[in-house]
Structure 1
Amino acid sequence: MDVCVIGGSRHFGRQLVEELREAGAAVTVVNRGSTPAPAGVTRLCADRDDGAALRAALGDRRFDAVVDQVCYSPLQAAVAAEVFAGRTRRYLLTSTVEVYAELGRPDGPALAEPSVDPAVWPVDLARPWADPAFLAAHYGEGKRQAEALLTRRAPFELATVRTAHVLGGADFTARLAHYVERIGRGLPVAVHAAPQPASFVHAPEIARFLARAAAADFTGPVNAASHGTLDVRELCAAVGRAVGREPVLTPGGDGPRSPFSFDRGYPMDTGRAARLGFSFSSIGDWLPQVIEEARG
């Protein structure tokens, strides 16, 4: 296969590139050039928001599949739909569990893909998606609208992988490290009064899933998550066992909560992935390992 990865310079994106390369694919990475590509991988430098620059960087290249790791808004999706028209048969959009964030409820059921249908989700290109602060504050909505725009406009096969919260690997977000540091130092951890469970996935596993999905033939959204869920109390307890300290949790209050503390549950239903022949590990299989990695 000849695969283009947009982004792919950090966290599980780099693992994805390495998975594809090791599987024998010819891999081209498109990013802004801040991080070198792994050995044996072609790198093209371009800002994916700039359609003309992206088109120029690609030249006359064609791909069997494109994996878009850094599409956060319908504006970026519109550029992709235009630039990759006629360049690829298959387009894989890396989406997120955050598309379900406002739909979950305390003690609610696992959320399946039809809960957010990109075919009918509204798209508003006039919102200030180019403003980084707005984009960060509307992460889930940006992903929903990116899915929706590509679903309606894409002139190629489209699949969207809605990834659970990713733990492990070179995680630049440092969310797990937040717990390791505070619990290890005996500092309080701010959580909701009744924190709810959510889905998670191991970084190497989501990289493997995306690599397999790039070569598959399914279309539409699919959830990708390890078996089981975690709420923030369970996560803190696991960290506490690893560092040898009892976590100090401070529930309630009006201040910001720690990452992965949620007041509504949004565990993911992975039934579609199973029917497509994909399987996942259980959270307990890898959580102790990633906590040790975060301890550094």
Structure 2
Amino acid sequence: MQVIKKINNNAAICLDTANNELVAIGTGIGFPPVPYELENLELIQSTYYGVNPMYLDLLNQIPNEIFQVSGKVVEIFKNKINSSVSSNLVFTLADHINFAIERHKKNVQFENSLQYEIQHLYEDVYEIGLMAVQLIQTNLSIRLPKIEASNIALHLINAESVAQIATKTSHLDDTLEDVVEIIGKHFQMYIDKSTVNYSRFVSHFQYLMKRQQKGKLMNSENSKLYLSVIEEYPDTFNCVNKIKDYLIKEMDFELNDEESLYLILHVNRLCVREDCYRKGITPSQ
């Protein structure tokens, strides 16, 4: 296997014997000067073909251990459901798990209004979500609440459908464009739509729209947390209020406090990372 481009010390873009490009993860494979021939293939922990380049920087943002857990979960999903999925799922699920861990450490929890449907209509996928929570506890020594099993299951269920929604629904495209413009103007910043940060925000916004279309919004007892987040991120709160005004006017869609909290966190996450990239600073996470 030929290593042709370093991503970090433990990840690289490689060519297999048939000259097909792939992403390989393995201890120290990105350390030697590239290009070079990797003879000891036992160093390789996992390989992924056809990964969208926008997801590669997640390898520099998310611990390798989380990618390993994500890879195991996706493999279980593929085998149990007998489904062929894109290699991108390993990357998006790793990002999902990483964010769940970040929220857990900050004691931020969301109720999943689709939990009952997931448990009873997608029993096999929900079981995988439970396995994922157990793998996270075993491999990362982090005990996530049981609700995260439903959240992970929902991510797997939507893995192939989320991107299709945006391409098929021009109205959603227009709404997303307007919301991103609101964010950009509010923070006076350019949001690069080719980055994983933008792709991550799009996915979360699409989930929000899907719940709205089904009339199933988030609902839990996070009022104290909502007030705390407003106090911590007042500028982001003002931005989200502009988005809320737009959604009411254009879609007759009013966000409740729980959905507003969810959106504040994701807008803040997008803008902090975009601001870092704009200034040439590499985010620590």
Q: Which has the higher strand share?
A: 1
Q: TM-score, normalised by structure 2?
A: 0.28
Q: TM-score, normalised by structure 1?
A: 0.27
